[in-house]
Structure 1
């Protein structure tokens, strides 16, 4: 049987389940075939933004991964990729919308990503028209976000009819496990946004699940700590291994239910007349 395929519109909270550092066995069953890494849904559904070579001059060298992430956000290449190679499932999270926000360029948008875009000459020279963040420009951002997700959902319906969308309902961790195995609270001054942004995330999840028939993986009732030894650094969204194991179990359950549903559909499609003629073991 071929592997079940996934795409990710999101960040570490969704993508790292397809990393053998966290889930060593995932490749036995699944394949992540595309991603819109750390991409705002508003930017994703915006038209392409044309930036000159001068605009793209960088203040420091980027890794190939971060440079490609930035260029794919600018070009909106992901939509063409996923249309050409539809996955079985798309996992969506809104980390980039909440943490990074967007810039407006005319009537178009880019993710205001500090790992790439903010290092460009275009950003440093403030050649954009405006910048917005969810928590600080709530009314404006919420409207743009709702419109963008609606575009994304209908894009999937029209172009990816066999693809299901999975909403990752994650929340931030308030504590982490240090190198000695002790549980430590995050600095409340540095991370004073944790509770307010978690509350906003919850409102967004409720809105989407009420409006759209989405699949979901919802681990918010479970207590997870961040990991001080996490491969990509300590942060409230870089969880201990238990989170990734539970997320992987959630994917397994979704896929198993769908496979069983398909089997039941095929069984119902069998014509009874074709079976009755066999008269096996007197059952019929």
Structure 2
């Protein structure tokens, strides 16, 4: 049986396909060589943000997300790609669409020749002691200023494609086209997750983000011609999901189906 080496760049909708909690025997067919979650394309393609790390990074954030924060600043995933040059890379644009990105003020990056961005997870980054060193400018999100965000995203996607072609030319990219789901089954009854969570999202806002997500997917397909992992149905979210109830925390069927579909794509 063929075992595929694969990298993952995106979010849990892609990474959890290679998680034994969701797909128990995934290691029979896949080895994840490198992965990066919760970093947007504009952030990844920016120059590294240097901070004073002489003190220990502290704050009310899990060790995992402390690592995400540091890699969001360092752009270390680019070095990982150059060093490993994985045969395959599964990517998704959830983080770009859901969170957006934040521009750094020029006063904090005088040596930078281009605009510098970090992922707009400010609600989480604020909990960290290093956050006070960041001088942030305006945010760009696909909810509040989507046309501007799309323009910046496209510019940096072109840079990402150029980087891959130069430094990892043999990597075949697979685009995961899953989307936000607002459907959840609780006690046998189908409900809207947004009404249970009572957060800032509703059916209209979720569809707004999904429409933009489709635009990002389509732009990438046209520019890069990746392999495409297509989700064949609208999955419900799982009320008992390992990471909690959320719009991209699907029922277990999704991970198993995506896993088997991915194998079929790579066997062609």
Instruction: Indicate the TM-score class for this superposition, using the shorter chain for normalisation.
Output: 0.7 to 0.9
- Asked if structure 2 preserves the Cα contact closer than 8 Å seen for 1:11 and 1:95, the reply is yes
1:139 is the counterpart of 2:150? no
2:223 paired residue among 187, 211, 229: 211
Change (3 A) 1:70 1:39: same
SS at match of 2:136: coil
Q: Give the Cα separation in 2 of the matches to 1:147 and 1:4.
A: 31
- Asked if structure 1 preserves the Cα contact closer than 8 Å seen for 2:7 and 2:32, the reply is yes
Change (3 A) 1:157 1:36: same
Aligned length: 254
Please list, as runs of the form range in 1=range in 2, the aligned pairs for 1:162-241 lying within 5 A after superposition.
162-178=170-186, 180-188=187-195, 190=199, 191-192=201-202, 193-219=205-231, 221-241=232-252
Structure exhibiting the larger radius of gyration computed from Cα positions: 1
Please list, as runs of the form range in 1=range in 2, the aligned pairs for 1:44-193 lying within 5 A after superposition.
44-53=44-53, 58=58, 60-105=59-104, 106=106, 107-114=115-122, 116-121=124-129, 123=131, 127-178=135-186, 180-188=187-195, 190=199, 191-192=201-202, 193=205
What stretches of structure 2 of length at least 5 have no aligned partner?
107-114
Q: Give the Cα separation in 2 of the matches to 1:16 and 1:153.
A: 24
Q: Give the Cα separation in 1 of the matches to 2:65 and 2:247.
A: 21
What stretches of structure 1 of length at least 5 have no aligned partner?
258-284
Q: Give the Cα separation in 1 of the matches to 2:120 and 2:191.
A: 31
Change (3 A) 1:214 1:121: same
CA shift for structure 1 position 226: 0.3
- Asked if structure 2 preserves the Cα contact closer than 8 Å seen for 1:54 and 1:121, the reply is no
2:7 corresponds in structure 1 to: 7
- Asked if structure 2 preserves the Cα contact closer than 8 Å seen for 1:56 and 1:122, the reply is no
Change (3 A) 1:121 1:137: farther
Please list, as runs of the form range in 1=range in 2, the aligned pairs for 1:241-260 lying within 5 A after superposition.
241-257=252-268
CA shift for structure 1 position 57: 6.0
Please list, as runs of the form range in 1=range in 2, the aligned pairs for 1:244-283 lying within 5 A after superposition.
244-257=255-268
1:31 corresponds in structure 2 to: 31
